[in-house]
């Protein structure tokens, strides 16, 4: 089925474009409902590769759209898919996050959407990237560009012990004064198998020739380690409504990422959902009946916050 026909059959209008800053070019997508009034906007981010996005992550975007929300997706972070940058290298996470947030702000402040409630949705490392940056921006602290809600799926705030980068390796590479930053030299703990629960989807993803199979880059892992620590120290600064969800069998990001955020966030309106036996990719990597449970909880949460807006 041609792409446009597929989106129409899902009652969704899809658009692809590039958002350009003076130095960077970010591949983006939007998903708008074809029918009914737009209730609000959702701004999505993740660290997925282009191929996985095309048929998996967009399931999240289309679902929000069918619920009546205009969805704007920083589809490929810098260093991923069609966006600029060395592949799977995020040596300066602040710059990577700032580019996505610039896109969100551009849309958020445009005439059709400025008066609508807006929500920031993130998954996995995409949450870490934007969350660490937004502590210094209005998304968390509140201002004229206020987001009335955050929705996080399996956020990367706490790294499982067997996934943590080796400190001796990081120290040794650090002695090279930046020469090793882009090297694919860090140990790889086979994240795909720990992220995808549904065997048939795991086989498809693992066999995809365009999937990045190299080892993590040195500075990317150093940045992840540094940012997770920074974010944990600043959970208390979160004051807006939030929902965080996690699978108890997540082997990529610790479920304690969500529980710690829930316990330490200062928001008076916060929700934690833990799904027993589910893996890291709660929607893309779970059987449909499990994903339906997660979607139901998210829809009830966001619709209720729109009513209060």
Which residues participate in catalysis according to the annotation?
Answer: 124, 250, 280
Closest CA to 157 of 138, 172, 137, 135: 135
Measured distance CA(124)–CA(3) in Å, rounded:
27
Among the residues of the chain, which ranges form H helices? 3-9, 50-52, 58-66, 93-108, 125-134, 138-141, 167-174, 191-195, 199-206, 218-232, 256-264, 288-308
CB contact set of 62 (below 8 Å; sequence gap of 6+):
7, 10, 12, 31, 71
Q: How many helices (H) and strands (E) does the chain have?
A: 12, 8
Task: Give me the sign of the Cα torsion angle 148, 304, 43, 35.
Answer: negative
Query: Phi-psi bin for 277: left (phi > 0), alpha (psi -120 to 50), beta?
Result: left
User: Under a CB-based contact definition with an 8 Å cutoff, are residues 282 and 154 in contact?
Assistant: yes
């Amino acid at each position: 089925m041609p792409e446009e026909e597929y989106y129409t059959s899902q009652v969704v209008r899809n658009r692809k474009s590039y958002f350009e800053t003076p130095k960077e070019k970010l591949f983006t997508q939007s998903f708008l409902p074809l029918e009914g009034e737009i209730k609000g906007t959702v701004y999505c981010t993740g660290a997925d590769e282009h191929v996985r996005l095309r048929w998996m992550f967009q399931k999240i975007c289309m679902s929000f759209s069918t619920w009546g929300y205009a969805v704007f997706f920083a589809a490929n972070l810098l260093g991923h898919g069609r966006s600029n940058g060395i592949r799977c290298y995020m040596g300066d996470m602040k710059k990577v996050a700032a580019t996505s947030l610039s896109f969100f702000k551009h849309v958020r402040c445009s005439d059709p959407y400025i008066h609508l409630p807006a929500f920031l949705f993130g998954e996995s490392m995409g949450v870490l990237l934007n969350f660490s940056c937004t502590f210094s921006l209005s998304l968390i602290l509140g201002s004229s560009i206020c987001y009335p809600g955050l929705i996080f799926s399996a956020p990367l705030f706490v790294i499982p012990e067997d996934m943590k980068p080796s400190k001796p390796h990081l120290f040794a590479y650090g002695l090279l004064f930046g020469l090793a930053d882009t090297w694919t030299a860090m140990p790889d703990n086979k994240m795909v198998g720990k992220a995808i629960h549904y065997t048939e989807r795991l086989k498809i993803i693992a066999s995809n020739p365009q999937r990045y199979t190299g080892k993590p880059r040195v500075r990317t892992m150093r940045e992840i380690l540094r940012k997770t620590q920074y974010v944990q120290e600043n959970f208390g600064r979160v004051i807006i409504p939030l929902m965080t969800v996690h699978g108890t069998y997540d082997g990529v990001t610790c479920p304690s990422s969500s529980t710690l955020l829930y316990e330490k966030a200062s928001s008076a309106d916060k929700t934690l959902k833990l799904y027993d036996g589910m893996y890291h990719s709660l929607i893309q990597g779970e059987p449909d009946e499990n994903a339906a449970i997660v979607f139901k909880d998210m829809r009830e949460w966001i619709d209720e916050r729109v009513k209060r807006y």
